[in-house]
Structure 1
Amino acid sequence: PPVELRQRKKPKSSENKESAKEEKISDIPIPERAPKHVLFQRFAKIFIGCLAAVTSGMMYALYLSAYHERKFWFSNRQELEREITFQGDSAIYYSYYKDMLKAPSFERGVYELTHNNKTVSLKTINAVQQMSLYPELIASVLYQATGSNEIIEPVYFYIGIVFGLQGIYVTALFVTSWLMSGTWLAGMLTVAWFIINRVDTTRIEYSIPLRENWALPYFACQIAALTGYLKSNLNTYGERFCYLLMSASTYTFMMMWEYSHYLLFLQAISLFLLDIFSVEQSDKVYEVYKIYIFSLFLGYLLQFENPALLVSPLLSLVAALMLAKCLQLNVKKGSFVAKIIKVINFYLVCTLTITLNIIMKNFTMNWLLCQESLQAPSQDFFLRLTQSSLLPFYILVLIICFLSMLQVIFRRINGKSLKETVTLEDGRIGERPEIIYHVIHTILLGSLAMVIEGLKYIWIPYVCMLAAFGVCSPELWMTLFKWLRLRTVHPILLALILSMAVPTIIGLSLWKEFFPRLMTELMELQEFYDPDTVELMTWIKRQAPVAAVFAGSPQLMGAIKLCTGWMVTSLPLYNDDDLLKRNEN
């Protein structure tokens, strides 16, 4: 049969696109799967690190429990003698936990706390809002819902939760240092420095119910999640997990402590500077800003429309930056100086004229400056940090990271592009966004801690984490060797050796010097003996008139409220202007 030639039909546009996509996909090189032994090494490293982190947290919680028992001899004390160990505002918090357990129902207990007229004379207060009593509400619910009232006494259940949170605190610091350095050895060194310097890292030994002891573990979890979220080489699933953990911990932190939004304000400034320096995609930073706004809005609703959140510097800063993005103020365009001037000017107009005025008008500064925690740190503070070798290594790490960060900024000013992935050979630790964030944040916290000693309990855990990360990070040593132009020894090999040898030597020296002291403290039996206060509380219970109202120091008023339930004239609280004036008078 004759062969017939026909004109070829043109394929449809959709078919062309599909074929083009297939060709493009075929052109993309498929990444080879890692060998089995490499996958096994990664899994073993992660497993050992997670096991070490959890074990460190559990051991620290058990250590706190044992030390508390040895110091106060809690198990052999009567209820009144136990309650006297809670001093000042700690006594107030625990007294409301007792009130919740005595209430006929949870709803009735919450109502009595929100319309409380049995604590301060001639004053009805919303104790849940003013004192952030959400930890006590949660603890009372857990105690009754789990049936623990048949197993354990209320005071042991309460302090057990706080000690458990401290274990989570240490675990979060461990993970943060591990994420930054890439080795769980940094986490071990972080925990060691934290425990050795516990006089300056926590007040858990003296004031268990303090709000910071409930809140800072969640803040540490938030920082760990933020550290992972800012990493450049994070996959999609890891990024989502970090974002969800950061959202939950930010909101919980804000609910647990009335001063939490000030710490988040410092964090927002650090992220703002990170965005200004253009070392990280602004999308991630603005996603964190959305978490702040959502947490503030939800906290405002659930904290009985707390006005402090609406006038907080955090909301003013984040709202101004979000508005600047929505209005497309070309913040990212122009010279480096123009960027800073535009944003700072916009922020000053929106915030400083409003928030600082309100804060200064409602603050009884003269009385607060008399408090020990609001004074400058003493020389003994720096001596203790130096003796434990923490301060020298922290200064070394901070200087190297800060200079490397400045180097990156000047490169950006000169128009040089940054590498998407920084390798060990580059020796540019300042190009990593999470490192720059932590450097800025620790400088802000440290500057405030030099003025207000009470902030050292927030700053020193940060110091432990950053110093441990630095000495265990090969990138930090490689950055230093790049500056020194080391030629005699291979710099990469020397950096890897030092990142293992230096923390090992530090750990052995800390073990030799401080471990016997810790064991001696656990073996030494102590006793909290205050017969005068016990006698006073006993007299009030037996002989004081029912309508009596007691006046005295704020610390004594907290003990009277807890041990006797009688009304007082003032409370050791700093967030109520009327109570501050009563204390000052």
Structure 2
Amino acid sequence: MQNMALKQRFSKDHSRAQHVNNVAGKSSKAKPKFSKLNGTTNKGSALSDVFTGRMVLILFIACLVGILNSAHVSSMFENDRFFSHLSDMEREMTFRTEMGLYYSYYKTIIEAPSFIDGLLSTMRDNITEFPDTINVLKRFNLYPEVFLGLGFRSFDSITKWMGIATKQCFRVNRGHDLPPVANCEGIGDPAYFYISAIFFEQGVMMALFFLFGVYLSNDILGGILTVMAVFFNHGECTRVQWTPPLRESFAYPVFVLEMLLVTYCLRSAESNWKHVTAIASAIVAFMLPWQFAQFALMTQIVAVFGTYTFGYIDTQKMKCILKAHTLGLFISFVFLFGNEMLFTSFYAAALLSIWVVIMLEAVFKKLPHFILIFIGQVSLLLVGTLGFKFLLARLLSVTDDAHIGNLFKSKFTGYKDFHTMLYTCAAEFDFLEFKTVSKLTYTLLIPSAIIVIIAVLYHLVVLEYNIWQTCISKEKDEDSSKETLLPPITRPKPHAELLYHIFQLGAFTIMAFIIMRLKLFFTPHLCLMCSLFASKQLFGFIGSRTQHYSFVVMLIFLMGISGISQLQSQWDIKGEFSNAPQEELLNWIMASTPKDAVFAGPMPTMASAKLSTGRCIVNHPHYEDAGLR
């Protein structure tokens, strides 16, 4: 009976493959999937009501988990620093290193006479690297601060005009020979508005993870499993609760949306300009806040290219995603005022190389076997990416990202210089810790992801075998003399989105292993892959729907045994920020030095000096510039 069930399932898979092939060869649009629900019969109306009810339930759960996550990270941040009872200067001091540097520009925009004055001051800044004048929008990816600054100014003006109180102020007695300070609570306080916007975006991110899990697994329980896995491994998924102003806090939630759009495009029967526009828009929103976005996007385009080389998407869909990435890169390059690091990045070089492979498709088709086609395409991608990267960097004399290559070099060789040692002395730039792997294992996240990967690969291999057998039978019936195994670029197959996520997870695994900080890509994607346990197509062999759902619920329960204890350890963190020596230093600078004084010193201290005193500095923690290094 089990063999018969498997045969029926693979027969359905093959039918879907044939449907995809037929659609790819037609110019007309495919019929809507739910076209049968458009009738006026009672049955059609009932099905429509069920579909509408399911969508309402999905959106309700998405909003619920989003609110829970926003409250979760907000409460942990408050418990760690007692942020609500700090003075303005103390709150600014909590934003250490580059966080203070980013926040200082938000402060500049909201304190300027007008928004335009504040924006222009960031584009002609001579305080950050005195005596040089730089465009910090170009250098530091500060668009989040620009929009938040505009948002706060608008919010503050409207609420004052309407007479709405948005904050409450108190006088806090600090004791320990420290003078009392005034502090304000409420969204009308600039610092509160700033972090509240970040925590709201984290809520949106969790809602997106739920929707992503539902879409990938085709089941609501898949979304719930994804969300619970993220919560149980929260400390290994993000650090926004400890460091809100970092660029990843703004950018990563947008990347989740962008991956969801790419998944939707891969699963769709046809691709069009709507896919290009949506993906490109998400890429721009991802790249503008974070200079590291280019590396994540490079892994994505290579992963999608992998689905193309194995024949799971056709040339049209590969071009669609390529166009979206190219358009997104170009728009980001313009909005970042011609940031040379984008144009000379490995990401841009990979895009150029894949375009070359696509243009040479007719040449690859002439090769006699799939293996030769695959080797040729992959070799051209590798050689082209390295060649374009170094050629563009040499032509434009750009060395701003040279320290990144040296950092990777130092990981596997004895090479070291001042800059690599400065990075590698920090734990987050070291190799992935065994402690992290053990935590993810105790919550069953890594074992679960491994099982899912095996199930996906098994499903794809069997599907490939059935399609291959069907091709052989058809050719024998027609006495065809054509090649038995058609080149994959002419025969797209279903489940491209599953293969893409396998490749994407592989890339994130390598990134996290080399640099522990990048586990923020790796761990959430493991959680996302776990949603496939709810897929009836992959794990329907477990039994009936009740048995299948019982298995998923039991998995959530087992994950929670260790996951809740890890959450509890985060909830137990209680603290109160205080740094009296630095506060004394900043007060001395403001009281005893002229306003045109210029300071140099330790990078974290310089960020605080610029933020709290407004004095000029000559060095700062943002390291992605050859001249500053």
- Identify the match of residue 600 of structure 2 among 540, 551, 561: 551
Q: Does the 8 Å CA contact 1:254/1:261 hold for their aligned counterparts? A: yes
Mapped pair 1:173 → 2:209:
yes
Measured in 1, the distance between the counterparts of 2:230 and 2:519 equals 12
Task: Specify whether residues 37 and 378 from structure 1 end up closer, same or farther in structure 2 by C-alpha distance, changes over 3 A only.
Answer: same
Q: Give, in angstroms, the shift of residue 521 of structure 1.
A: 5.6
The gaps in structure 1 that reach 5 residues or longer are 1-29, 419-429, 479-490
Q: Does the 8 Å CA contact 1:232/1:433 hold for their aligned counterparts? A: no
2:437 corresponding residue in structure 1: 382
Q: After TM superposition, list the pairs within 5 Å mapping 1:48-447 onto structure 2.
A: 48-147=57-156, 150=160, 151=166, 152-232=188-268, 244-326=277-359, 328-334=361-367, 335-356=369-390, 358=393, 362-364=401-403, 365=406, 366=417, 367=419, 368-406=423-461, 416=471, 431-447=494-510
Higher RCO (CA-CA < 8 Å; seq separation 6+): 2
Q: Give, in angstroms, the shift of residue 190 of structure 1.
A: 1.4
Q: Give the residue type in structure 1 aligned to 2:387.
A: T
Q: Does the 8 Å CA contact 2:276/2:324 hold for their aligned counterparts? A: no
Q: Give, in angstroms, the shift of residue 378 of structure 1.
A: 1.2
Q: Give the residue type in structure 2 aligned to 1:436.
A: L
Q: Give the residue type in structure 1 aligned to 2:108.
A: D
CA-to-aligned-CA distance 1:463-493 (integer Å, 9 cap, x gap): 11112x1221222224xxxxxxxxxxxx4x6
2:625 corresponding residue in structure 1: 576
CA-to-aligned-CA distance 1:49-78 (integer Å, 9 cap, x gap): 121112111221122222222222122111
The gaps in structure 2 that reach 5 residues or longer are 1-34, 161-165, 167-187, 407-416, 474-492
Q: Does the 8 Å CA contact 1:474/1:495 hold for their aligned counterparts? A: no
CA-to-aligned-CA distance 1:252-275 (integer Å, 9 cap, x gap): 112121121221111000111111
Measured in 2, the distance between the counterparts of 1:375 and 1:281 equals 39
Q: Scaled by the length of structure 1, what TM-score is found?
A: 0.82
Q: Give the residue type in structure 2 aligned to 1:51.
A: F
Give the secondary structure class of the aligned counterpart of 2:514: coil
1:17 corresponding residue in structure 2: none
Give the secondary structure class of the aligned counterpart of 1:578: coil
Q: Give the residue type in structure 2 aligned to 1:402.
A: L
Mapped pair 1:473 → 2:535:
yes
Mapped pair 1:37 → 2:46:
yes
Q: Give, in angstroms, the shift of residue 240 of structure 1.
A: 7.2
Task: Specify whether residues 313 and 523 from structure 1 end up closer, same or farther in structure 2 by C-alpha distance, changes over 3 A only.
Answer: closer
Give the secondary structure class of the aligned counterpart of 2:627: helix
Compare 565-574 and 446-455 and name the one that shifted more.
565-574
Q: Does the 8 Å CA contact 1:473/1:499 hold for their aligned counterparts? A: no
2:175 corresponding residue in structure 1: none
Task: Specify whether residues 135 and 539 from structure 1 end up closer, same or farther in structure 2 by C-alpha distance, changes over 3 A only.
Answer: same
Q: Does the 8 Å CA contact 2:65/2:207 hold for their aligned counterparts? A: yes
Measured in 1, the distance between the counterparts of 2:150 and 2:400 equals 38
Q: Give the residue type in structure 1 aligned to 2:385.
A: T
Q: Percent identity?
A: 24
What is the alpha-carbon root mean square deviation over aligned residues? 2.9
Measured in 2, the distance between the counterparts of 1:523 and 1:180 equals 35
Measured in 2, the distance between the counterparts of 1:361 and 1:543 equals 37
Q: Scaled by the length of structure 2, what TM-score is found?
A: 0.77
Measured in 2, the distance between the counterparts of 1:520 and 1:451 equals 27
Q: Give, in angstroms, the shift of residue 442 of structure 1.
A: 0.5
Measured in 1, the distance between the counterparts of 2:127 and 2:237 equals 35
Q: Does the 8 Å CA contact 1:132/1:258 hold for their aligned counterparts? A: yes
- Identify the match of residue 579 of structure 2 among 530, 536, 551: 530
Measured in 2, the distance between the counterparts of 1:325 and 1:31 equals 38
Q: Give, in angstroms, the shift of residue 574 of structure 1.
A: 2.7
Aligned length: 524
Q: Does the 8 Å CA contact 2:399/2:626 hold for their aligned counterparts? A: no
Compare 498-507 and 445-454 and name the one that shifted more.
498-507
Give the secondary structure class of the aligned counterpart of 1:552: coil
- Identify the match of residue 551 of structure 2 among 471, 487, 502: 502
Task: Specify whether residues 308 and 520 from structure 1 end up closer, same or farther in structure 2 by C-alpha distance, changes over 3 A only.
Answer: closer
Task: Specify whether residues 92 and 55 from structure 1 end up closer, same or farther in structure 2 by C-alpha distance, changes over 3 A only.
Answer: same
Compare 396-405 and 505-514 and name the one that shifted more.
505-514
Q: Does the 8 Å CA contact 2:512/2:522 hold for their aligned counterparts? A: yes
Give the secondary structure class of the aligned counterpart of 2:96: coil
- Identify the match of residue 511 of structure 2 among 438, 441, 448: 448
Measured in 2, the distance between the counterparts of 1:497 and 1:333 equals 51
Q: Give the residue type in structure 1 aligned to 2:103.
A: Y
Measured in 1, the distance between the counterparts of 2:269 and 2:401 equals 46
Task: Specify whether residues 116 and 354 from structure 1 end up closer, same or farther in structure 2 by C-alpha distance, changes over 3 A only.
Answer: same
Q: Give, in angstroms, the shift of residue 171 of structure 1.
A: 1.4
Q: Does the 8 Å CA contact 2:456/2:498 hold for their aligned counterparts? A: yes
Measured in 2, the distance between the counterparts of 1:168 and 1:210 equals 17
Q: Does the 8 Å CA contact 1:194/1:201 hold for their aligned counterparts? A: yes
Q: Give, in angstroms, the shift of residue 281 of structure 1.
A: 2.6
Q: Does the 8 Å CA contact 2:232/2:566 hold for their aligned counterparts? A: no
Q: Give, in angstroms, the shift of residue 43 of structure 1.
A: 2.1
Task: Specify whether residues 495 and 401 from structure 1 end up closer, same or farther in structure 2 by C-alpha distance, changes over 3 A only.
Answer: farther
Q: Does the 8 Å CA contact 1:222/1:250 hold for their aligned counterparts? A: yes
Q: Give, in angstroms, the shift of residue 163 of structure 1.
A: 0.7
Q: Give the residue type in structure 2 aligned to 1:174.
A: F
Task: Specify whether residues 353 and 518 from structure 1 end up closer, same or farther in structure 2 by C-alpha distance, changes over 3 A only.
Answer: closer
Q: Does the 8 Å CA contact 1:221/1:249 hold for their aligned counterparts? A: yes
